[in-house]
Amino acid sequence: MKVGIIGAGASGMMAAVTAAEYGAEVTIFEKNDRVGKKILATGNGKCNISNLEFDMNKYYCADKEKLSRLFSVFSLWDTINFFESNGMLIRNKNGYLYPYSEQASTVLDIFRKILNDRKIEVYTETEISDVRFHKEKNKFSVETKGQKHEFDRLILSCGGPASQRKGEGMTGYHMAQSFGHTLHRLVPGLVQLRSNDGFIKGMAGVRCQAKAELYADNEKLSEEQGEVQFTEYGISGIPVFQFSRMAAYALDEGKKVYVKLNLFPDYEEKAFLYIIRSRFDTMQEASVEEFLLGTVNKKINLAMIKKEGMKPGDKIEKQGFQKIKELMQSYRSLVIHIEAANGMENAQVCAGGVDFEEVDMQLASLKQPGLYLTGELLDVDGKCGGYNLQWAWTSGYIAGRNAAGNSTKELIIENGKGTSNAKD
Ligand SMILES: Cc1cc2nc3c(=O)[nH]c(=O)nc-3n(C[C@H](O)[C@H](O)[C@H](O)COP(=O)(O)OP(=O)(O)OC[C@H]3O[C@@H](n4cnc5c(N)ncnc54)[C@H](O)[C@@H]3O)c2cc1C
């Protein structure tokens, strides 16, 4: 079986090494000058390959039941097994899994070795924009620099436009569309959110533990807790990343989007009021700035004082309890109006993509026999924490093995929780 793969990223390389393991003659085409370049940037250069806290709530997908069954074919345990059996030690940091070296290049080195060992033909600096299926020969053809390649099966693993230069990263979708596939609206995911609220600039550079709630047209869409970062243009950090794709879709639909932050998420309302009262009673002589000293970051305090129409030097006793209480309580419901999500160039993942219902349980196209789709190209995206790479490994494995003619049908666990071992 001759299998051609377009895109040597996470899912494409997994598809290639799997198809070769199951006996296929594999060729992979990559537009960059080397394979797996994006992997080097993942996880801040450490590559968060998967996560022990795996469940379907970490994914956005139209059919989570189907997605769950796919993960039962190649689960997080199969990811661990794959890397360990190929020599890579794994580091577990609170459930987040990395190569033990904490260097993304280790993951890439492992893939490069297997690609080489399994004699996979690799073409770099080769961007494919046109693939054809020839009915009479029952073969796909791909043209590169005057050379024509023919394949029995073709896997599209081109990823999407996330983290690409503006306007780039769309060829995979276009090729899928040329076979009749439907493309769902693309928005940036795992990305910073922009705000024009003036007070944010004063907080730029500060990181702060917070509970963050996302609202669109006053409807609460999501809630996250963790370290929020204030920037010159808005907000960032994992909690913001986690719901950024929801914000991006809501903004795209013309909804009014805002994020409500609680900068004292660890305090119950009653305990917080007690703290305000006792500080007020014992700090009558203090200025507002002194009153807030020792609570959260000074830059936040100064910005909040200004926002609430006070001056740092204003005396507490002159303000009175009610005003001070209001000032402190504004930290617990700080509203940030969101104007936009940062661009696709800044996003770690692209939400949207090829309709997930247009592939079967082997990730074979329902539009074009012999065609398979993997990874970010499909309308599946995950939260931050290793879930997107897990989808890349899972989808690459399934597409690669089935394209090689070795069905994964038997491995599907109905109502599976993604705990299988995909090895025969
Ligand atoms: C900065 C950053 C950090 C991230 N960190 C993490 C993390 O730690 N953990 C995690 O789970 N996820 C992370 N992600 C997300 C994760 O990297 C992606 O979800 C994953 O790589 C998607 O795999 P893929 O195979 O679908 O696409 P990609 O990995 O993007 O691979 C697609 C490949 O196809 C090539 N290509 C595209 N079009 C063509 C064409 N026409 N012809 C030839 N080649 C083509 C591309 O150059 C690319 O090499 C991160 C993403 C970014 C940008």
What's the structural domain count of the chain? Answer: 2
Res 420: pLDDT: 45
**Domain end: 342, 357, 376, which one?**
342
Question: Containing domain of residue 272, as a range?
Answer: 192-342
**Matching residue, tokens 């100064």:** 302
416 pLDDT exceeds 50? no
Using one digit for the tens of pLDDT, what is the confidence trace for 13-47?
Answer: 999 999 999 999 999 999 999 999 999 999 999 99
Residues 261 and 175 in one domain: no
Residue 57 forms part of a structural domain: yes
Ligand 1 atom at minimal distance to the Cα of residue 381: 19
DSSP 363: -
Q: Which of 290, 323, 342 is the last residue of a domain?
A: 342
pTM attached to this predicted model:
0.94
Q: Find the mean pLDDT for residues 52-67.
A: 96
Per-residue pLDDT at 310: 96
Residue 353 and residue 332 share a domain: no
- The answer on 278 and 321 residing in a single domain is yes
Report how far ligand 1's centroid is from the alpha carbon of 389 (Å). 8
The neighbouring-strand residues paired with 359 are 365
DSSP string, 184-241: EEEEEES--EE---THHHHHTT-EEEEEEEEEETTEEEEEEEEEEEE-SSEEESHHHH
Residue 417, domain member (yes or no)? no
- The answer to whether position 122 is within a domain reads yes
Mean pLDDT of 190-195: 98
Do 316 and 380 fall within a single domain? no
For Cα atoms 6, 10, 14, give the angle at the middle one, nearest 5 degrees.
80
Shared domain for 315 and 328, answered yes or no, is yes
Residue 162 CB less than 6 A away from ligand 1: yes
Which residue among 383, 388, 398 is best mutated to probe the pocket of ligand 1, counting the most ligand atoms within 8 A of its Cβ? 388
For residue 421, is it within any domain? no
- Cα–Cα separations (whole angstroms), residue 161 to 87, 181, 293, 345: 32, 18, 45, 7
Pocket lining: 389 vs ligand 1, CB cutoff 6 Å: yes
CB 98 within 8 A of CB 48: yes
Structure tokens at 314: 């204003």
Residue 119 corresponds to which tokens in the numbers above?
């004699």
Domain-embedded: residue 419: no
Assess whether 162 and 303 both reside in one domain.
no
Is residue 418, in this structure, part of any structural domain at all? no
- Same domain? For 14 and 127 the reply is yes
Longest dimension (CA), the chain: 90
Please check whether residues 289 and 181 belong to one and the same domain: no
In a domain? residue 416: no
11 lines ligand 1 (CB under 6 A): yes
Pocket mutation for ligand 1, best pick of 83, 158, 397 (most atoms within 8 Å of C-beta): 158
The alpha carbon of 175 and the centre of ligand 1 are apart by a number of angstroms equal to: 17
The pLDDT value recorded for residue 421 is: 41
Same domain, 357 and 310: no
Long-range contacts of 134-143 (CB under 8 A, 24+ apart): 138/370, 140/4, 140/370, 140/371, 142/4, 142/6, 142/29
Ligand 1, atom nearest to 175 Cα: 41
* Separation of CA 135 from chain center: 38
Contact (CB, 8 A) for 9 and 40: no
Percent residues over pLDDT 70 in the chain: 98
Taking only the tens place, the pLDDT of each residue in 253-280 is: 999 999 999 999 999 999 999 999 999 9
**Residue bearing the CA closest to ligand 1, atom 29:** 9
Give the pLDDT band of residue 422 (cuts 50, 70, 90): very low
Q: Are 139 and 166 in a shared domain?
A: yes
Q: How far is the CA of 10 from the centre of ligand 1 (A)?
A: 6
- Asked if 303 and 336 sit in the same domain, the reply is yes
Give the domain CATH number at 115: 3.50.50.60
Position 423 confidence tier, pLDDT thresholds 50, 70, 90: very low
Check whether residue 99 and residue 209 sit in a common domain. Answer: no
398, part of any domain: yes
Last residue of a domain, one of 286, 315, 342: 342
